[in-house]
Amino acid sequence: MNGGWFPMKWKVIEKSKLPILIEELTKEYEVFAPVKEKNVASFERVSPENQPSLDFRNTKKPLKEVFSPQTETVFTYRTDKKDVEIVEPPAVKGKMVLLDVRPCDARSFVLLDKFFSSGEHKDVYYLERRKNTTIVGLACNSPLSTCFCTSMGGSPFGKEGVDLLLQDINNKYLIETVTERGEELLKKFPWLKDAEKADTERAKKLSEEAENAVKSKVSVKDVVEKLDRMFNDPLWDQIYQKCLGCGVCTFLCPTCYCFDILDEEGKRVRIWDSCQFPCFTLEGSGHNPRPSGKERMRQRVMHKFNYVVKNYGEIFCVGCGRCVQECPVNLDIREIIRAISARQVE
Amino acid sequence: MENIENSIREVAEKLLSEKKVDLIIGYEQGTLPLRTTPCFVDKVEDIKKLVWNASCDANLSKYVLGRKEKIGVIAKGCDARLIAVCAIEKQFPRENVVIIGVPCLGVIDRKKIEAKLGDKEVLEATVEDEQIKVKGEGFELVLPKKDFLCDSCLTCKHRNPPICDVFVGEKVPENTEADEFAEVSDLEAKSAEERWQHFKEELSKCIRCYACRNVCPLCYCKMCFVDQTMPAWFGKTNDLSDTIIYHVVRAFHVAGRCVDCGACSRACPMDLNLRELIKKTEKIMKERYGYEAGVSLEEVPPLGEFKMEDPEEFIK
Amino acid sequence: MSNPYIPNLAVIRKITRENEANDIKTFELVSKNPEAMKNFRYRCGQFAEISVFGAGECPIGIASSPMDEDYIQFTVKKVGVVTTALHNSEEGTVLGVRGPYGNGFPMERMEGRNVVIVGGGFAFTTLRSLTKFILHEANRDRFKDLTVIYGARDPGELVYKYDLEAWGKKDDINLNVTIDRAFPGWTGLVGLVPAILKEVAPSSDNAIAIICGPPIMIRFTMPVINELGFHPENVFLSLEMKMKCGIGKCGRCNIGNKFVCKDGPVFAYKELEMMPKEY
């Protein structure tokens, strides 16, 4: 439940005490938090060897890998041709806490939830993990220049997808309870102090500043509708030319979910796949409906900014900026959206 | 730098307007500081988009293959050598490509700057002579350029493109001193076990995005060994043994052809050092065959032919 | 929540070689679990994901008719890893079956009407399911005239020869079997499917057309269908795309915002006209 009225909605914790809270959490939960190695932050399981780094902008890899790992065993099997025994992976035991999730990544879970639970067949692997996880968000006081979350329906202090939201107010964190699940978690730490008015005021000021600090703006106002009429537009001939067709943007994107399923010895696995790879749609006959980078780039843009809107009502982009930062040739999705916006289409 | 930029634009404009080429492939300003992006110009009025600076790190030779038009491509030393390798391998009609050679003193390694600045983001940057001035929220720093160049550039022996059709600007002095295989020697000095641990640790971060393969001009196979299913050579998951096979086999596929442009390491989103294994193969080529890829259009690559005098002491 | 990725187990009861080149075989499967068999209720035109454990999974159209209750048949052409492994399997091998998936043919639209079935090559498999279903004595009088036009490259490539022979003797079906070019010993029709369709010229009056075949056959068949006066909402095509999960989750079989595995593989021509041409 989101946005309900919770008594004692705001708590605070001194920064120095946060490691204690995290240690307490690890006794009961599997805690994942950003861990830095050589300046690169990634979400790892917190352990005595892997301590969270709380000063980080965002992780290189998106958090979808917690719920939908890059390589996942769908089932294992034993066979001797005359008989086969299928063994489903063990049920997800135990509960997880994801700590310091940026609002853009938390919002990506909301979008992925819509997708994985849609239709007649639900993706049990993703949903089971999601069910057992509490999300503790960390609001962004200083967004990056590549962040454009506010243009994509999010915000640096967004609460979509989080159960609790931490906010850095100098030497303390303000903790806001967003859902019942968040409240449940907080109950385990009765020693947390209530927030004072000064704390919440400071937080409010910081959130206003952060919102203004998101300088990168991309208008998607008419993009969805325009794309309906742009399938054969010559714009695609230009856009794709410098694209290398690698998987960086899709793998680092929090809302890209496409996968491949294959058999390896003794098991069936599913792995991240990318619509940018040439074999993605290559048929056994040799026919490929998307034979070149142009069709594949078009698919990416139309999928995220048009097709999913028709199917799930949302643009599948949270404005995290990872694809912008990491594209080897600086192909910028914001520029593509702007080009579409500016396009005169019949 | 400015002079070279203007000269590039002049040369490009001349080629386009005289219809010697239909398309110019160069660099234009990127959307982030210290970044340029590949630029495809087919109209004279767009020539002014072309830039030249120490952030022109993309390997444009990638875009030469598979084109039907006549093209002019801006090429640094490494880029020109790769075009030469592809020409020797008959991957494109040589007469369709005008190599516009540009002398290069090295490109900036953004990852080194990020490592220096930690979580501070560069919002503005200018490069003047030997200094990189970076500005961000609450900081301003001047960094000596020589400390933030790509590793491959530090030991580059071909700052001037050895093969080109047009040369822009003045030749720059070559770096004859640096030991280009110092990194390899360091690795060689380690025990086999230590090397194995090192590679296992490094490659365990790989996410199999294939940016390294796709950015490399030498990886032009229509069906890469990674994607083959009949037979499937190895697994596609990010299991470590499969990942190691991918990188090792790719190193073997580019052995004797790689010029160490560094694009693979620059492209890697997980900051893997992808050059060191391939650099070892480059060292072997130099020592055993006296061969350097892409400096001559006449020489047949040693791995593509057999000579009676080829070393064969390993045959007992 | 049931796990949609876990296959049910089935045994290969019989393997029938379908063509001269011996790269198309029909596999008759019986479920290892009788309950699962009963619950596998399918419609003509649907498909299932067949697992050959160790090789993988692939989507195959269901060739048997829903009236055949104790077995399911799949006709498979050997093209890749999984299909080759299937072809190398013997009777008695245990396979996995997930499904039935897809929307199937619009039976409700066809009832009370004339049905024109046009198929080419090995794509005839789900059309065979449809033809058998319509011809079954329990169903026949719900449909009016049945015209079938089926063509292959040469006589050796015709599949379901045993069915074609049986149907040829019946008087409640107008069967037209053709081969592309004259072949020694062949006394039947000669000509490409679109040409034969033009000759046969079934009436479009109160008729539904179901078409299934390789892209090139479709391209030349559609103008003939239009000429014959068939309205786009009365013409249905079964499309093929690379599929993996079969349930609209892996993301690869989309045409625009529709998934061939979930919203298809059967689409009305009218619908296709409004979808991007990316198939």
- Which tokens go with B176? 């004859």
Q: Identify the pLDDT of residue A4.
A: 55
Q: Do C251 and A257 touch (CB under 8 A)?
A: yes
Q: Which contiguous run of DSSP H or E holds residue B285?
A: helix B275-289
Question: What does the longest C-alpha to C-alpha distance in chain C come to?
Answer: 58
- Mean of the pLDDT values across residues B16-42? 96
Residues A202 and A237 in one domain: no
- pLDDT surpassing 90 at residue A345: no
Chains in touch with C (3+ beta-carbon pairs under 8 Å) read A, B
Q: Among C86, C101, C116, which residue terminates a domain? A: C101
Q: Which residue has the tokens 């089935």?
A: C10
- Which tokens go with B225? 């060994």
Range of the structural domain that residue C229 is part of: 107-238
Contact C51, C97 (CB under 8 A): yes
State percent of chain A over pLDDT 70: 97
Chain A residue numbers with beta carbons less than 8 Å from the beta carbon of C1 are 122, 124, 127-128
| Residue C3 domain-assigned (yes or no) | no
Give the closest-approach CA distance of C69 to chain B in angstroms. 36
Exposed/middle/buried for A153, CB within 10 Å: 0-12, 13-18, 19+? middle
Residues A143 and A231 in one domain: no
- Mean of the pLDDT values across residues C234-248? 94
Of A118, A128, A265, which is closest to C54 when you measure between CB atoms?
A: A265
Contact C200, C146 (CB under 8 A): no
What is the Cα Rg of chain C in Å? 18
Residue B188 pLDDT level (bands cut at 50, 70, 90)? very high
Q: Residue C181 — φ and ψ, nearest 5°?
A: -135, 155
Range of the structural domain that residue A300 is part of: 223-342
Whether chain C has a CB inside 8 Å of the CB on A282: the answer is: yes
Interface test with B, best of A44, A243, A244, A325 (most B CBs within 10 A): A244
Round to whole Å and give the CA distance between C36 and C48. 14
Q: Do A144 and B214 touch (CB under 8 A)?
A: no
Which residues, at least 6 apart from C263, have a Cβ–Cβ distance to it below 8 Å?
A: C103, C248
Which letter does DSSP use for residue A275 in this model?
Answer: T
Q: Identify the pLDDT of residue A1.
A: 42
Whether chain C has a CB inside 8 Å of the CB on B223: the answer is: no
Residue C27 maps to which CATH number? 2.40.30.10
Round to whole Å and give the CA distance between C149 and A311. 37
Domain count along chain A:
2
Contact C215, C241 (CB under 8 A): no
CA angle B216, B220, B225 (to 5 degrees): 100
Residue A92 pLDDT level (bands cut at 50, 70, 90)? confident
Q: Residue A322 — φ and ψ, nearest 5°?
A: -65, -40
Residues A23 and A62 in one domain: yes
Question: What is the number of other CB atoms lying within 10 angstroms of the CB of residue C225?
Answer: 25
Residue C138 maps to which CATH number? 3.40.50.80
Say which amino acid occupies B302: P
| Residue A4 domain-assigned (yes or no) | no
Which letter does DSSP use for residue B160 in this model?
Answer: S
Whether chain A has a CB inside 8 Å of the CB on C7: the answer is: yes
| Residue C262 domain-assigned (yes or no) | no
Whether chain C has a CB inside 8 Å of the CB on A183: the answer is: no
Torsion angle of the four alpha carbons A266, A270, A273, A275, in this order, in degrees rounded to the nearest 10: 110
Centroid of chain to Cα A236: 27
Convert the pLDDT of each residue in B230-289 to its tens digit: 889 999 999 999 999 999 999 999 999 999 999 999 999 999 999 999 999 999 999 999
CB pairs under 8 A between A and C: 126
Chain A residue numbers with beta carbons less than 8 Å from the beta carbon of C261 are none
- pLDDT surpassing 70 at residue A320: yes
| Residue A2 domain-assigned (yes or no) | no
Q: Do C3 and A119 touch (CB under 8 A)?
A: no
Convert the pLDDT of each residue in B109-141 to its tens digit: 999 999 999 889 999 999 998 999 999 999 999
Residues C58 and C121 in one domain: no
Convert the pLDDT of each residue in A175-218 to its tens digit: 999 999 999 999 999 999 999 999 999 999 999 999 999 999 99
- pLDDT surpassing 80 at residue A7: no
Chain C residue numbers with beta carbons less than 8 Å from the beta carbon of A121 are 4, 247-249
Q: Do B227 and A279 touch (CB under 8 A)?
A: yes
Identify the sign of the CA torsion C203, C207, C211, C216: positive
Q: Do C249 and A116 touch (CB under 8 A)?
A: yes
Round to whole Å and give the CA distance between C109 and C143. 10
Q: Which contiguous run of DSSP H or E holds residue A28?
A: helix A18-28
- A54 vs C28, residue with greater confidence: C28
User: Which residues are paired to B27 by β-bridges?
Assistant: B38
| Residue C254 domain-assigned (yes or no) | no
Round to whole Å and give the CA distance between C269 and C223. 12
Contact B149, B106 (CB under 8 A): yes
Round to whole Å and give the CA distance between C41 and C44. 10
The DSSP bridge pattern shows strands C47-52 and C146-152 to be: unpaired
Residues A192 and A243 in one domain: no
Chain B residue numbers with beta carbons less than 8 Å from the beta carbon of A39 are 114-115, 118
Give the closest-approach CA distance of B38 to chain A in angstroms. 6
Residues C92 and C201 in one domain: no
Q: Do A262 and C240 touch (CB under 8 A)?
A: no
Interface test with C, best of A307, A309, A312, A316 (most C CBs within 10 A): A307
Identify the sign of the CA torsion B204, B210, B216, B218: positive
Q: Do C278 and A120 touch (CB under 8 A)?
A: no
| Residue C186 domain-assigned (yes or no) | yes
- pLDDT surpassing 80 at residue A113: yes
Chain A residue numbers with beta carbons less than 8 Å from the beta carbon of C83 are 284
Give the closest-approach CA distance of C150 to chain A in angstroms. 20
Which residue does chain B place closest to C56, by CA atoms?
B229
- pLDDT surpassing 90 at residue B309: no
Whether chain A has a CB inside 8 Å of the CB on B41: the answer is: no
Chain C residue numbers with beta carbons less than 8 Å from the beta carbon of B229 are 80-81
Buried b (16+ CB within 10 A) or exposed e, C28-64: bbebbeeeebeebebbbbbbbbbbbbbbbbbbbbbbb
Chain C residue numbers with beta carbons less than 8 Å from the beta carbon of B232 are 81
Q: Identify the pLDDT of residue C39.
A: 84
| Residue C82 domain-assigned (yes or no) | yes
Exposed/middle/buried for B304, CB within 10 Å: 0-12, 13-18, 19+? exposed
Q: Do B58 and A328 touch (CB under 8 A)?
A: yes
Give the closest-approach CA distance of B237 to chain A in angstroms. 6
Interface test with B, best of C79, C81, C88 (most B CBs within 10 A): C81
Of C256, C257, C278, which is closest to A295 when you measure between CB atoms?
A: C278
| Residue C256 domain-assigned (yes or no) | no
Give the closest-approach CA distance of C31 to chain A in angstroms. 12
Round to whole Å and give the CA distance between C180 and A196. 85
Which residue does chain B place closest to A272, by CA atoms?
B237
Q: Identify the pLDDT of residue B86.
A: 95
Round to whole Å and give the CA distance between A153 and B238. 33
Closest by CA to A262, choosing from C188, C33, C57, B12, is C57
ipTM of the complex: 0.94
Q: Do C244 and A261 touch (CB under 8 A)?
A: yes
- The secondary structure of A75-96 as a DSSP string is EEEEE-SS-EEEEPPPP--SEE
Chains in touch with B (3+ beta-carbon pairs under 8 Å) read A, C
CA angle A289, A291, A293 (to 5 degrees): 125
State percent of chain B over pLDDT 70: 99
Residues A295 and A326 in one domain: yes
- The secondary structure of chain C as a DSSP string is ---TTPPEEEEEEEEEE-STTS-EEEEEEEESSHHHHHH----TT-EEEEEETTTEEEEEEB-S-TT--S-EEEEEE--SHHHHHHHT--TT-EEEEEEEES----HHHHTTSEEEEEEEGGGGHHHHHHHHHHHSTTTGGGS--EEEEEEESSGGG-S-HHHHHHHHT-SS-EEEEEESS--TT--SEES-HHHHHHHH----TTEEEEEE--HHHHHHHHHHHHHTT--GGGEEEE-----SSSSS-S--SEETTEETTTT-SEEEHHHHHTS-S--
Of B38, B208, B210, which is closest to A329 when you measure between CB atoms?
A: B38
- pLDDT surpassing 60 at residue A157: yes
- Which tokens go with B115? 């490592």
Give the closest-approach CA distance of C75 to chain A in angstroms. 15
| Residue A58 domain-assigned (yes or no) | yes
Q: How many CA atoms lie within 13 A of B285 on its CB side?
A: 21
Can you list the positions of beta strands (E) in A80-147?
84-87, 95-101, 133-138
Helix, strand, or coil (residue B25): strand
Average pLDDT, chain B: 94
Round to whole Å and give the CA distance between B166 and B18. 15
Q: Among C238, C256, C272, which residue terminates a domain? A: C238
Question: What is the number of other CB atoms lying within 10 angstroms of the CB of residue C171?
Answer: 5
Residues 242-271 of C with CB under 8 A from A: 242, 244-245, 247-254, 256-257, 262
Chains in touch with A (3+ beta-carbon pairs under 8 Å) read B, C
Residues C84 and C113 in one domain: no
Closest by CA to B68, choosing from B43, B95, B28, is B95
Closest by CA to C257, choosing from A208, A311, A157, A221, is A311
Domain count along chain C:
2
Which residues, at least 6 apart from A208, have a Cβ–Cβ distance to it below 8 Å?
A: none
Residues C133 and C222 in one domain: yes
Residues A202 and A285 in one domain: no
Give the closest-approach CA distance of C161 to chain B in angstroms. 31
- pLDDT surpassing 60 at residue A281: yes
Instruction: List the end-to-end C-alpha distance of chain C, in Å, as a whole number.
Output: 33
- A6 vs B5, residue with greater confidence: B5
Whether chain C has a CB inside 8 Å of the CB on B233: the answer is: no
Q: Residue A64 — φ and ψ, nearest 5°?
A: -60, -20
Residues C94 and C112 in one domain: no
| Residue A166 domain-assigned (yes or no) | yes
Q: Do A281 and C252 touch (CB under 8 A)?
A: yes
Round to whole Å and give the CA distance between B248 and B250. 5
The DSSP bridge pattern shows strands C8-17 and C24-31 to be: antiparallel
Residues C127 and C224 in one domain: yes
Chain A residue numbers with beta carbons less than 8 Å from the beta carbon of B35 are 330
| Residue A218 domain-assigned (yes or no) | no
Average pLDDT, chain A: 92
Interface test with A, best of B119, B216, B226, B272 (most A CBs within 10 A): B119
Q: Do C80 and B232 touch (CB under 8 A)?
A: no
Q: Identify the pLDDT of residue A6.
A: 58
Q: Identify the pLDDT of residue A8.
A: 58
